[in-house]
Each structure stands twice: as C-alpha cells, then as structure tokens.
Amino acid sequence: MCLAIPMQIVQIDGHNAICSVQGVRRDVSLSLVQDQALAVGDFVLVHVGYAIQTLTPEEARDSLDLFDELMTADAVEAESSSHA
C-alpha cells in the first residue's frame, strides 16, 4: 500500500498537476511538495495521487526500472492465474 511511482510533471495548475509515466497521465496533487520550486519536466514520487517527494532524474530512472519489472511480474501473475 506504500507503493509509490515516479512520474514526470507535464502540466501545473497551482497545487494540481498532470503527471505522466510510460504514457499514462494522472491528476496529481502537489500540495505535499508545495515548499519545492517545481516546473514542467521535473520528477516526483507519487503515492495515492499525491506527490510525496521530488526526485532527481537519476532517482526516477532507478525506480522506473523497478516499476517495469513489477508490472511485468504482475502481468505474468495475472496471466498464470487466469489459466490456472
């Protein structure tokens, strides 16, 4: 439940942003990182619709590699259970 995903900011409107990861766009609240100067193109760590930390591009890339692996694992799991 503490899963958090690195996302890139594509649009900012006050404390609301649209962020994207691998082509998927989501509304994200920036209210918990409002003390940081954020711009389009920056990376944030998103948990349940809220950015909980800013990330450097390197930190985001590391987490994204993991995210890819987890998504693949979940897809494999879904596939195997649907054929069980």
Pick from 30, 26, 28: which is nearest to 14 by CA?
Answer: 30
62 binds other proteins (CB under 8 A): yes
Q: Is 48 helix (H, G, I), strand (E, B) or coil?
A: coil
Check if the beta carbon of residue 40 is closer than 8 Å to that of residue 8: no
Q: In whole angstroms, how large is the CA radius of gyration of the chain? A: 14
Per-residue contact string for residues 3-42; x = within reach of other proteins by CB under 8 A: xx----------------------x-x-xxxxx-------
Please report, as ranges, the residues that interact with other proteins according to CB under 8 A: 1-4, 27, 29, 31-35, 45, 47-50, 52-53, 55-56, 59, 62-63, 65-66, 69-70, 73, 77, 81, 84
